[in-house]
Structure 1
Amino acid sequence: MNSPAQTNIAPVVELKGVTRSFEQGGVTIEVLRGVDLEVQPGEIVALLGPSGSGKSTMLQAIGLLEGGFGGHIGIAGTAAEKVDAAGRTALRRDHLGFVYQFHHLLPDFNAMENVMMPQLVLGKSDGEAADRARELLQALGLGARLDHRPSQLSGGEQQRVAVARALANRPELVLADEPTGNLDEHTSDKVLEEFLRLVRGEGSAALVATHNERLAAKMDRVVRLHEGKLD
């Protein structure tokens, strides 16, 4: 598929010369070695690479989840390296959504409550948050499972709730790290199709880390992480 034509619109995320290294046993391991990337509004990009290639590290950089990165990381036009911790928290809260390989749902809350939670943090009323949660969960085929806790849901259903939670605050960019990696092939395909459909319907952009060429081919564009740089 072709990428959306967004040449006159600022990118949702912009990376320039992003680096990250770790010290291990007295040896410096360079994971990211000058990564450049732009993701445009509404564009769904597959980040392809084998396990251990640094895909998760790159998503952590964009998600502003830890320090130690060099270079420029722009989120919705703001240079993350120029703001303080509170500013980075605001960028995550206001512009980003996250889906991980493992759902990380709150076990004591039902599906509705898990999707309401990030909205309540943002200051929405209970009614607004409930309406939005119901809308998303129904769109993912979970209308009959709203009051079920994670332990009462299948793996695919749990991941659908995680997708709904990631989109609850209408993020400009969803970061997904192997979002179907712990599911069987049939369930993985179905959840990914629903994820892509919902993200496109919401108008969000997404960067999806995967090692699966077949799944990557379903997205608008594929970039490959190799030896710390994007091909």
Structure 2
Amino acid sequence: MSEAPVREAVVRIEGLTRSFEQGGVTIDVLRGVDLTIGPGEIVALLGPSGSGKSTMLQAIGLLEGGFGGRIEIAGTHASKLGSNARTALRRDHLGFVYQFHHLLPDFNARENVVLPQLVAGKSREEAEERADELLGALGLAERLSHRPSQLSGGEQQRVAVARALANRPRLVLADEPTGNLDEATSDRVLAQFLALVRGEGSAGLVATHNERLASSMDRVLRLSEGRLA
């Protein structure tokens, strides 16, 4: 009887390091981090402020340089790619949700979800259909034409979640995605976020300092003194 094929890891990092110079002193933020996330797995990254969670997500998201070690996204060794290739890899495989929604203020909810799809080459009709599907799943079917300033904080963050998933990413990176919301709204938005990510079949890495929220994910990792535990 043949073995089932092993599915390719969505992200694999080996020996990830990052240091900063501050006042003539070298600060080691990441000290050799290893991590593998499989398809559909949602992982919580716990750690206090300043522990390096955001730095680690920036590395995996290919948002800046200066990192040591190997970063592999969807089977591609991303660490040595040029700028254009890194941008294409981000566009095709990654989605991002931040603590602050960063929605475009002059565009409505639907347009904020449509735009990244147009950049990726989808037709407007296809992009609008996808936006309506995602926003509807997040309970925003009646808010499609509202601009960010006309939405509540929880609604703004749900639009940001829809935008992150618009291009069907293999991996969603979320940095304190509900950290700017009150507890009740935070719980509601996180539950919708996790349900939608799982429903889409994407993997997720969610940085948080909230133990209670982390417990609802598939696996919990702790970043301490630049290493994962």
User: Which residue does the alignment assign to 1:117?
Assistant: 115
How far is 1:82 from its partner? Answer: 2.6
How far is 1:163 from its partner? Answer: 0.1
C-alpha deviations, 1:10-53, integer Å up to 9, x for none?
A: 11000100000000000000000000000000000000001110
Structure 1 residue aligned with 2:92, among 94, 116, 120? Answer: 94
User: Which residue does the alignment assign to 2:208?
Assistant: 210
User: Which residue does the alignment assign to 1:155?
Assistant: 153
Measured in 1, the distance between the counterparts of 2:132 and 2:192 equals: 16
User: Which residue does the alignment assign to 2:56?
Assistant: 58
Letter of the structure 1 residue corresponding to residue 72 of structure 2:
G
How far is 1:150 from its partner? Answer: 0.0
How far is 1:8 from its partner? Answer: 1.5
User: Which residue does the alignment assign to 2:44?
Assistant: 46
Structure 1 residue aligned with 2:189, among 184, 187, 191? Answer: 191
Measured in 2, the distance between the counterparts of 1:229 and 1:92 equals: 25
C-alpha deviations, 1:116-166, integer Å up to 9, x for none?
A: 010000011110000000000000000000000000000000000000000
TM-score of the superposition, structure 2-length normalised? 0.98
Measured in 1, the distance between the counterparts of 2:169 and 2:180 equals: 24
Measured in 1, the distance between the counterparts of 2:88 and 2:124 equals: 21
User: Which residue does the alignment assign to 2:21?
Assistant: 23
How far is 1:7 from its partner? Answer: 8.3
- What's the secondary structure of 1:143's corresponding residue? coil
User: Which residue does the alignment assign to 2:174?
Assistant: 176
RMSD over aligned CA atoms reads: 0.9
Measured in 2, the distance between the counterparts of 1:133 and 1:211 equals: 30
Residue segments in structure 2 that go unaligned for 5+ positions in a row: none
C-alpha deviations, 1:192-226, integer Å up to 9, x for none?
A: 00000000000000000000000000000001100
Measured in 1, the distance between the counterparts of 2:121 and 2:14 equals: 33
User: Which residue does the alignment assign to 2:35?
Assistant: 37
Letter of the structure 1 residue corresponding to residue 158 of structure 2:
R
How far is 1:9 from its partner? Answer: 1.2
Measured in 1, the distance between the counterparts of 2:79 and 2:134 equals: 33
TM-score of the superposition, structure 1-length normalised? 0.97
Q: Identity of paired residues, percent? A: 78
Letter of the structure 1 residue corresponding to residue 66 of structure 2:
G
